C-alpha cells in the first residue's frame, strides 16, 4: 500500500514493504525502516527502531484521514493522502467549471452516460455526464445555467485524468 503523509509543510511518501506480526518494514521517501511495533492501548503505540524506543499517541482529527500524533514533548497534525483521498480531492476540484467553462475528468474512468448535446440549454445543478471510476459512478453537473458548446466524449469512451468532457458557452 502506497500513500503520502502530510506533516505541516512536509509531504512524505510511505510504502509498506513487509509486515509479519509486530515486525513492519516501511520505506519513507526511499529510506528503509525496520520497526517493531506494539499497540499498548487505544491509539497508543510503542515503536522500536534501531535500538531506540518511541511511545506514540494517535488521536483521530477532523476525519478518518486526519490525526494528531503526540511523541515525547511534540505534537504533529498529519493528513493521510491515499488513493481514495486523492480521488476525492480531484472530484471536489472538478465539481465546477474552470475559467473557460470546461468540465475535465479528474481521474481515469469510463463514460457511463452523456445527458446533453451541443446546443442544449442547461440549468445550474443539472447532471451533464456520468463517469464510472474506482467502482463508483460520479455525476458532473453544471455549476451555472448556460448552453453546451461541445461534448467531447460519448458513452462507453475510456477517459484519462484531465481529459476535457464538456464545454459550455
CA distances from 121 to 30, 31, 91, 116, 145 (A): 52, 55, 24, 9, 7
**pLDDT tens digits along 16-52:** 999 999 999 999 999 999 999 999 988 899 999 999 9
Is the whole-model pTM more than 0.75?
A: no
46 Cβ neighbours under 8 A, 6+ residues apart: 37, 38, 40, 53, 54, 55, 56
In a domain, residue 46? The reply is yes
Single out the residue in 50, 81, 112 at which a domain terminates. 81
- The residues with which 111 forms a beta bridge, in sequence order, are 131
Does one domain contain both 75 and 101?
no
Task: Count the Cβ atoms, other than its own, within 10 Å of residue 3.
Answer: 17
pLDDT at 121: 95
Give me the domain span that covers residue 49: 2-81
What whole-number distance in Å separates Cα of residue 44 and Cα of residue 53?
13
Is residue 88, in this structure, part of any structural domain at all?
A: no
Among 51, 81, 111, residue at a domain's last position: 81
* Tens-digit pLDDT profile for residues 84-101: 777 766 665 554 434 458
Give me the pLDDT at residue 99, please: 42
The answer on pLDDT for 57 being more than 80 is: yes
| Predicted local confidence at residue 94, as pLDDT | 53
Has residue 86 been placed in a domain?
no
pLDDT at 88: 66
- Express each pLDDT in 112-161 by its tens digit: 999 999 999 999 889 999 999 878 888 888 878 899 999 999 999 999 87
Asked if 73 and 108 sit in the same domain, the reply is: no
Distance spanning both ends of the chain, measured CA to CA:
43
Q: For residue 72, is pLDDT > 90?
A: no
Residue 99: CA atoms inside 13 Å, Cβ hemisphere, count?
0
Using DSSP's 3-state secondary structure scheme, residue 152 falls into coil
Question: What is the total count of domains within the chain?
Answer: 2
Amino acid at each position: 500500500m502506497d500513500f503520502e503523509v502530510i506533516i505541516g509543510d512536509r509531504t512524505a511518501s510511505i510504502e509498506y514493504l513487509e509486515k509479519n506480526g509486530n515486525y513492519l518494514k516501511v520505506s519513507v521517501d526511499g529510506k528503509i525502516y525496520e520497526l517493531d511495533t506494539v499497540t499498548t492501548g487505544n491509539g497508543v503505540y510503542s515503536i522500536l527502531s534501531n535500538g531506540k524506543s518511541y511511545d506514540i499517541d494517535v488521536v483521530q482529527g477532523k476525519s478518518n484521514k486526519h490525526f494528531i500524533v503526540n511523541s515525547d514533548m511534540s505534537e504533529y497534525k498529519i493528513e493521510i493522502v491515499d488513493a481514495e483521498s486523492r480521488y476525492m480531492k480531484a472530484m471536489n476540484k472538478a465539481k465546477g467549471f474552470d475559467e473557460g467553462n470546461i468540465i475535465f475528468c479528474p481521474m481515469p474512468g469510463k463514460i457511463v452516460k452523456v445527458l446533453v448535446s451541443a446546443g442544449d440549454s442547461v440549468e445550474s445543478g443539472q447532471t451533464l455526464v456520468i463517469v464510472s471510476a474506482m467502482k463508483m459512478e460520479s455525476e458532473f453537473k453544471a455549476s451555472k445555467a448556460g448552453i453546451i458548446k461541445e461534448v467531447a466524449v460519448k458513452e462507453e469512451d475510456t477517459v484519462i485524468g484531465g481529459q476535457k468532457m464538456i464545454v459550455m458557452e
